[in-house]
Amino acid sequence: MDYKSELLKTLSAEEYVTASQLSSFFHVSNKTIRSWVKSINDEGEAFGVSIESRPHYGYILIADDPEDIERLKQSLSSAEALSPDSPNTRLYYLIKVLLESGDYVRIGDIADELYVSRPTMQGAVREAEGILNQYGLTLKRRPAYGIKVEGNEFDIRRCIASYFVRRNNLLYRSDMESAMHSAAKIIRELLIRYDIHLTDVSFASLLFQSYVALERMKQGKYIELNSGAFSGAGEKELGFVRELLSVFKEEYDFDAPEDEAYYMLIYLMAGRRSGSVSGDETNFVIHEEIDELTTQILESVYQEYHMDLRDNFEIRMLLNQHLVPMDIRLQFDIQSVNPMLDQIKRYDMQSFIVATHVSAIISEHYKKPVSEDETGYLAFIFALAKENSKNEKKANILIVCAAGKASSRLLANRYQREFSRYLDHIYLCDLAELSRFDFEKVDYILTTVNVAVYVPKPIMEVGNFFNDNDRAAVQELLERGETSFLRKYFRPSAFYTDITGDTKEEIIQQMCERAAEETELPEGFTDSVLKREALAPTDFGNHIALPHPYKTVTDKTIVCVAALKKPVLWSRNEVQFVILASTGKESDPDEEEFYRVTTQLIVDCPGIEELIREPSYEAFMNLLKDI
């Protein structure tokens, strides 16, 4: 951080700011603030700027002219950029020089310019090379000449936009903020004129790339694209980018080839979602290949999670419309930023896990990785599908009463009135009729009498007169369901505490071998689980991983659990609790609730750490019961 410039931005020439406020803001001590102030005053003397300190009041900026403060800020920013004590800014500077040079650069020259040793600069070069490689760029070394960046203009622009512009790093251009403001005004006016809708995130992406394109074109660096390979745009999109390029050329007095318009078109189309917030935009061309991929996705989601969206036209079209711009982003390696990623993972991990499965399918289709940000956007589609299903599905209950018909009907009316949004139909019977009742008609049983015989549905005892305790208990049952069914998935014999290994592959191999000892697994089961792991991570947080086969391979759902003695680095996180689940081909009415409870372990279950310390089957089941 350029702390001197940041401190100047925080201070005011109109009112005092206390040392305590500053130390709290910068997370440093009051003593450190005093040393920063002294350093700024030493340098500010030449600019006629000082920071005055007054006991019990704090600090205030003193300057004859406000412009003097701005000149001091720019001077401090430039000094920080070339400071040998700032490794990050040294790295930024090196990458900037390499990207803009287009020719060989001597490491020794840069080291002399930054007042650092050659070995120090060599370390920065290695770090810069790793960053450049992420954008498909390489460093070419030539003795006596130095190093230079090799790669196409498209990837160079991706790197500049991501590494400098998106981070608002003024080292790239000191006037970047004002130039971006001017470009944003031009783009926004044209979007309105052409009636093109972008989300805030997509607008920012288009703005960043347009600004980078503008700066590169000023330097005579142009893009080369095969415009014929890009056919997903309509006339108004083409009109928009052509006019945008024309405005830029006129405003900044330079010439540019038609390919530059197609470059902006790529980012325009890559940022499109499914229309405006009001949903009134339908200018999407869905090609047969996209629709076939959507069909494959919905079939796989049904096979893996028994979530049948295959005939859901709304979800199918939403997925198609999302895949159209996603196809462009994957084709051109365009980074997607999802500001709501953490929220969707926290509040609907179940939908995020379904989306992760879908991302694995998309990754295999395109032979490219799908980022977590992209997965987060897919999760919203499945969250909507789940919410729609929840709104449509109501429960049927049976009330078992010993009293007469009038009191039974009165009780039923009270439940119907209180829980109308949860209930579809209420059946009534007495104990004598219970044995002849068709339990397939209902989801739950409420009884005012003791039921001593077995019934195949969850049962809850309630009072003869509807009271607050009954209301709370029944509402929880209807909202969350009953958890005793989980024992059919989680069995004591499949709860392992002796699995060992240093890698996720070793853990998965052992768990599959143990599961095969008591359950017949199809050939290639372990390979299918490992294939799924290779496509997308299954460690979602809270020390838990949820590995599963790439596709449905077992008739019935099989689940085994391992509490590891020591954590294992899975894909992104350390994992010490593994739930391996293979969804069965046979339909199971409890499966959706099984996944809800399981995924809730990841999101909000502090008890998992205690379970890891003292693992036991009963402790695990008690943990699930409380979710």
Q: pLDDT by residue (tens digit) across 161-209?
A: 888 887 776 556 667 788 888 999 999 999 999 988 888 888 988 999 9
Q: Any long-range contacts for 34-43 (C-beta under 8 Å, 24+ apart)?
A: 36/3, 36/4, 36/7, 37/7, 39/4, 40/4, 40/7, 40/8, 40/72, 40/76, 43/4, 43/72, 43/75, 43/76
Region 48-74: mean pLDDT is 85
Question: pLDDT at residue 80 above 60?
Answer: no
Look up the CATH number of domain 288-392.
1.10.1790.10
Residue 463, classified by CB atoms within 10 Å of its CB into exposed (0-12), middle (13-18) or buried (19+), is: exposed
Residue 142, classified by CB atoms within 10 Å of its CB into exposed (0-12), middle (13-18) or buried (19+), is: exposed
Question: pLDDT at residue 231 above 80?
Answer: no
Nearest to 591 by CA among 298, 295, 302: 302
Nearest to 269 by CA among 284, 288, 280, 258: 284
| pLDDT at position 245 | 92
In the chain, list all ranges with CATH 3.40.50.2300. Answer: 395-482
DSSP secondary structure string for all residues of 401-425? -SS-HHHHHHHHHHHHHHTTTTEEE
Nearest to 273 by CA among 209, 312, 323, 239: 323
Q: pLDDT by residue (tens digit) across 339-362?
A: 889 888 888 888 999 999 999 999
Which H or E run contains 397?
A: strand 395-400
Region 275-292: mean pLDDT is 61
Question: pLDDT at residue 276 above 50?
Answer: no
- What the block records as the tokens of 423 is 């209930």
Q: Any long-range contacts for 589-595 (C-beta under 8 Å, 24+ apart)?
A: 590/485, 590/488, 591/305, 591/306, 591/557, 592/305, 592/306, 592/307, 593/481, 593/485, 594/485, 594/486, 594/489, 594/557, 595/305, 595/350, 595/353
- What the block records as the tokens of 39 is 């350093």
| pLDDT at position 405 | 67
Model confidence at 623, pLDDT cuts 50, 70, 90, reads: confident
Q: Which CATH class is domain 87-151?
A: mainly alpha
Distance CA 213, CA 223 (A): 9
Question: pLDDT at residue 417 above 70?
Answer: yes
**Residue 53 pairs with which residues in a beta bridge?**
59
Phi, psi of 603 (to 5 degrees): -80, -50
| pLDDT at position 78 | 57
Measured CA to CA in angstroms, residue 221 lies from 105, 217, 241, 335, 357 at distances of 18, 5, 18, 22, 41
| pLDDT at position 627 | 66
- What the block records as the tokens of 501 is 């290994």
| pLDDT at position 82 | 45
| pLDDT at position 282 | 43
The amino acid at residue 249 is: K
Model confidence at 472, pLDDT cuts 50, 70, 90, reads: confident
In the chain, list all ranges with CATH 1.10.1790.10. Answer: 288-392
Distance CA 184, CA 207 (A): 6
| pLDDT at position 67 | 82
Please say whether the dihedral angle defined by the alpha carbons of residues 310, 314, 319 and 325, taken in this order, is positive or negative.
Answer: positive
Q: Quick one: CATH architecture of 487-625?
A: 3-Layer(aba) Sandwich (3.40)
For the segment(s) 395-482, the CATH number from 3.40.50.20, 3.90.330.10, 3.40.50.2300, 3.30.750.24 is: 3.40.50.2300
Measured CA to CA in angstroms, residue 127 lies from 139, 466, 593, 594 at distances of 11, 69, 47, 45
Q: Quick one: CATH architecture of 3-81?
A: Orthogonal Bundle (1.10)
| pLDDT at position 510 | 96
Residue 538, classified by CB atoms within 10 Å of its CB into exposed (0-12), middle (13-18) or buried (19+), is: buried
Residues 6 or more apart whose CB falls under 8 angstroms from that of 534 comprise none
Question: pLDDT at residue 609 above 70?
Answer: yes
Model confidence at 500, pLDDT cuts 50, 70, 90, reads: very high
Model confidence at 413, pLDDT cuts 50, 70, 90, reads: confident
| pLDDT at position 391 | 57
Question: pLDDT at residue 1 above 50?
Answer: no
Domain 176-270 falls under CATH 1.10.1790: yes
Question: pLDDT at residue 284 above 60?
Answer: no
